[in-house]
Amino acid sequence: MLKDNIIKVKERIAQVCLRVGRKPEEITILAVTKGRNAEEIKEVISCGIEEIGENRVQEALLKFDDKRHAISDKPKLHMVGHLQTNKVKEAVKIFDLIQSVDSLHLAQEIDKQAAKIKKVQDCLIEVKTSPEATKFGIEPDTVIDLIKEIQALKNIRIQGLMTIAPVVDNSEQARPYFRRLREILHAVNDKRCAISHMHILSMGMSADFEVAIEEGSTMIRIGRAIFEG
């Protein structure tokens, strides 16, 4: 079943890319495995999915930690949930990319803990494009200033931006939030705020990823469409 679901997701990606003049290989599928067991994750990896997203540090450690992991074929691992500073020490040990940096304080702690293990931690800035009070992330008008401050840190590398659109009745209603993130990324690159060109736009989930791709997403975070169809 999972193989069929992944094929369907890839077909949907191909269709939208054809429509807007993009290439499917420009889009990374991140399988979000919160609450999923080791066998399900192994099956997803066997179907060619190379990047996995987890929402909680402790759950990721149980599944992927080198000393006790249940997944033998370790994929590239992303932290996509809100990250508390007291979890950073463990997070930098296991995650290849932390997608939820939403403050200078958190970035400084990531830098500190990454330095201890001689690692440069790749991260994304989470931007709050939605007015929903429950959403995490920094305000859009503070992104450039935060990136400039993070540039001084030696063990953290910002690769792009992430956002979570609000829950809407029609995926088309999510378009303004995705468009806003794309505009912010373009502004950052145009003003050369980052040391290197930022290329990742992580936006779009099972219910709205086609609209996100139309608006320039390079990484979609898919849970339900893979595991439930």
CATH number at residue 54: 3.20.20.10
Report the half-sphere exposure of 50 (CA within 13 A, side-chain side).
3
The CA distance from 210 to 16, in Å, is: 6
| Predicted confidence band of residue 27 (pLDDT cuts 50, 70, 90) | very high
Residue reference for tokens 């930098």: 92
**Structure-token pair, residue 121:** 């931690």
Query: What average pLDDT does the structure give for the chain?
Result: 92
167 pLDDT more than 90? no
Percent of the chain residues past pLDDT 70, beyond the cut: 93
105: which residues sit within 8 A by CB, 6+ positions away?
Answer: 85
| Predicted confidence band of residue 45 (pLDDT cuts 50, 70, 90) | very high
Task: Name the helix (H) or strand (E) containing 156.
Answer: strand 156-162
The number of angstroms, rounded, from the C-alpha of 228 to the middle of its chain's C-alpha atoms is: 20
Query: Which domain, by its residues, includes 76?
Result: 2-80+87-227
Question: Across residues 133-162, what is the average pLDDT?
Answer: 92
133 pLDDT more than 60? yes
Question: Across residues 36-47, what is the average pLDDT?
Answer: 91
Pairing status of strand 121-126 against strand 156-162: parallel
Give the residues across from 122 on adjacent strands: 97, 157
Among 152-161, 186-195, 207-216, name the one with the lowest average pLDDT: 186-195
Task: Name the helix (H) or strand (E) containing 225.
Answer: helix 224-227
Q: For position 1, what pLDDT does the model report? A: 86
72 pLDDT more than 90? no
| Number of independent structural domains in the chain | 1
194 pLDDT more than 80? no
Other beta carbons less than 10 A from residue 100's beta carbon: 22
Other beta carbons less than 10 A from residue 184's beta carbon: 20
* pTM, to two decimals: 0.94
66 pLDDT more than 90? no
134 pLDDT more than 70? no
Q: Which amino acid is at 106?
A: L
Residues 9 and 18 sit within 8 Å (Cβ to Cβ) = no
The CA distance from 27 to 23, in Å, is: 8
Higher per-residue pLDDT: 168 or 109: 109
**Structure-token pair, residue 16:** 């939208």
